[in-house]
């Protein structure tokens, strides 16, 4: 299974993007993981998605339609997620990256094969990861 960072969802559906090639890459990745039924998302992914899309003043119907699609891939947190989060949030670096730590811990506990993101900051977290972190360039 593949866990997508929220930025891929945003780039795939945002009306106005700074870099159209990133949108093309995000759409390709999203289509690929959905068509292979290989996608996992968290509730945090949906919350971040709505926050960014509303901040970008996207159309409400567009946001709701995307949520309708994305919610089918949301999985419930496993009990060991809390334990992994507590272990990983013990120092200042990881605390300052707490949302990324959550995404990584969620993907780890769901036994995903990889986490995909546009965020290069995930490279700094590879030492905490049981799975492959792939940053799309």
List, in order of start, the domains of the chain with CATH numbers. Answer: 2-135 (3.40.50.1010)
Task: Give 101's pLDDT tier (boundaries 50, 70, 90).
Answer: confident
Give the per-residue pLDDT at 56: 96
Question: What gap in Å lies between CA 41 and CA 73, rounded to an integer?
Answer: 6
Q: Got the DSSP string for the chain?
A: -EEEPHHHHHHHH-SS-S-HHHHHHHHHHHHHHHHTT-EEB-HHHHHHHHHHHHHTT--HHHHHHHHHHHGGGB-PPPTHHHHHHHHHTSSHHHHHTHHHHHHHHHHHHTT-SEEEES-GGGGGGGGG-SSEEEE--
pLDDT at position 107 over 80: yes
Q: Model's pTM, two decimal places? A: 0.86
Give the per-residue pLDDT at 98: 77
Task: Give 93's pLDDT tier (boundaries 50, 70, 90).
Answer: low
């Amino acid at each position: 299974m593949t866990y997508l960072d929220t930025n891929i969802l945003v780039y795939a559906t945002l009306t106005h993007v700074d870099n159209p090639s990133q949108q093309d890459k995000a759409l390709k990745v999203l289509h690929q993981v959905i068509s292979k039924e290989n996608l996992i998302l968290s509730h945090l992914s949906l919350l971040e998605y709505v926050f960014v899309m509303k901040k970008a003043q996207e159309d409400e119907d567009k946001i709701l339609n995307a949520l309708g699609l994305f919610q089918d891939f949301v999985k419930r947190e496993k009990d060991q997620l809390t334990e992994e989060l507590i272990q990983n949030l013990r120092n200042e670096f990881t605390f300052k990256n707490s949302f990324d730590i959550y995404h990584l811990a969620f993907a780890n506990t769901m036994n995903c094969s990889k986490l995909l993101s546009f965020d290069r900051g995930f490279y700094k977290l590879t030492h905490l990861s049981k799975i492959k972190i792939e940053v799309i360039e």
